[in-house]
Amino acid sequence: MAATIIDGKALAVRLKENVRAEAVALPRKPGLAVVLVGDDPASRVYVNGKRRDCEECGFLSEEHALPADTTQAELLNLVKQLNGRGDIDGILVQLPLPKGLNEKEVLLAIDPAKDVDCFHPFNVGRLAIGEPVFQPCTPGGVMEMLREYHIDPAGKRCVVLGRSNIVGKPMGMLLLHANGTVVTCHSKTPDMAQLAASADILVSAVGKTGLVTGDMVKEGAVVIDVAMNRNGLGKLCGDVCYEEAAAKASYITPVPGGVGPMTRGMLMKNTLTAAKLHQGG
């Protein structure tokens, strides 16, 4: 049986329409400030995408493009100003920061109530105890996809490949909170292929093209490919050998058009959540 393709692009459009409908009912527009330091081309593309998302959702969007030689003190000072602004609900500092800037210190400086990326240790802690204020955008987007396609992780074996702080770890936590039985694999996992092949829900977030081959996919598994890699031809692709996996999976996400758009949608949802909190909603 051919796998059902999980259409992240279409789901993200719906998600943003819902966000917009709630946003226009608030006394004040939700406001998102995006801080970009330096001129990394990939970061610029992401920031432009976030601006468009804000327009679609009817948000106030503000961009702070700083030169690559910005000092730590200058960046911290900007974050402090944005923390104090009544019209800004969410603050996003685009990562990676140029060498010489201390990312941890900058993320720690963001007011947790405006930390719409859900990177601040306060919000990570809330997530760990199952009481998140914000959903981490990429794993949160994956959970939305599962919900929309009526895929319930409860009682399922969920295998997550990758343990980064922004994807793998929070992904495992969200699946665990949804009553999945979670196994997290990483570069030191010796039997990753076997573990992957036992998964009812397999999430790959490693960043290695061709990592997940057909033999690592159980018949009828749900396959979520978080990765955004470039293949030899410069084309965007994931970790999963798509055709091989799709031949065995029940559901699968494409790259592009899968997790990526949902990540952006979740950022809008988190900014709306922050705006509601700040406006007493």
Which chain residues interact with ligand NAP by CB under 6 A?
A: 138, 161-164, 166-168, 185-189, 192, 205-208, 226-229, 259-260, 263
222 Cβ contact partners less than 8 Å away, ≥ 6 residues apart: 146, 151, 200, 201, 202, 249, 250, 251, 252
Angle between helices 8-24 and 41-57 (to 10 degrees): 50
- Looking at the Cβ atoms of 192 and 272, the one nearer to ligand NAP is 192
Closest contact distance (angstroms) between CB of 149 and ligand NAP is 17
Catalytic residue of the set 53, 115, 117, 200: 117
Angstrom distance (rounded) from CA 266 to CA 226: 14
Closest contact distance (angstroms) between CB of 184 and ligand NAP is 8
- Looking at the Cβ atoms of 153 and 168, the one nearer to ligand NAP is 168
- Looking at the Cβ atoms of 90 and 168, the one nearer to ligand NAP is 168
Tokens of 98: 């140029």
3-state class of 231 per DSSP?
Answer: coil
Reported residue count of the chain is 281
- Looking at the Cβ atoms of 70 and 263, the one nearer to ligand NAP is 263
- Looking at the Cβ atoms of 91 and 142, the one nearer to ligand NAP is 142
Cis peptide before 139 (omega within 30 of 0): no
Closest contact distance (angstroms) between CB of 129 and ligand NAP is 22
Q: What is the CA radius of gyration of the chain?
A: 19
Q: Is 115 a catalytic residue?
A: no
Catalytic residue of the set 50, 114, 169, 248: 50
Q: Is 94 a catalytic residue?
A: yes
Angstrom distance (rounded) from CA 224 to CA 228: 12
- Looking at the Cβ atoms of 113 and 115, the one nearer to ligand NAP is 115
98 Cβ contact partners less than 8 Å away, ≥ 6 residues apart: 37, 38, 40, 68, 70
Angstrom distance (rounded) from CA 207 to CA 205: 6
Closest contact distance (angstroms) between CB of 2 and ligand NAP is 23
Closest contact distance (angstroms) between CB of 234 and ligand NAP is 15
Q: How far is CA 31 from CA 93, 111, 252, 277, in A?
A: 14, 14, 34, 13
Angstrom distance (rounded) from CA 211 to CA 102: 32
Q: Is 194 a catalytic residue?
A: no
Catalytic residue of the set 16, 53, 94, 269: 94
Closest contact distance (angstroms) between CB of 47 and ligand NAP is 14
**Percentage helix, strand, coil for the chain under 3-state DSSP, each rounded to 5:** 45, 15, 40
Active site residues: 50, 94, 117
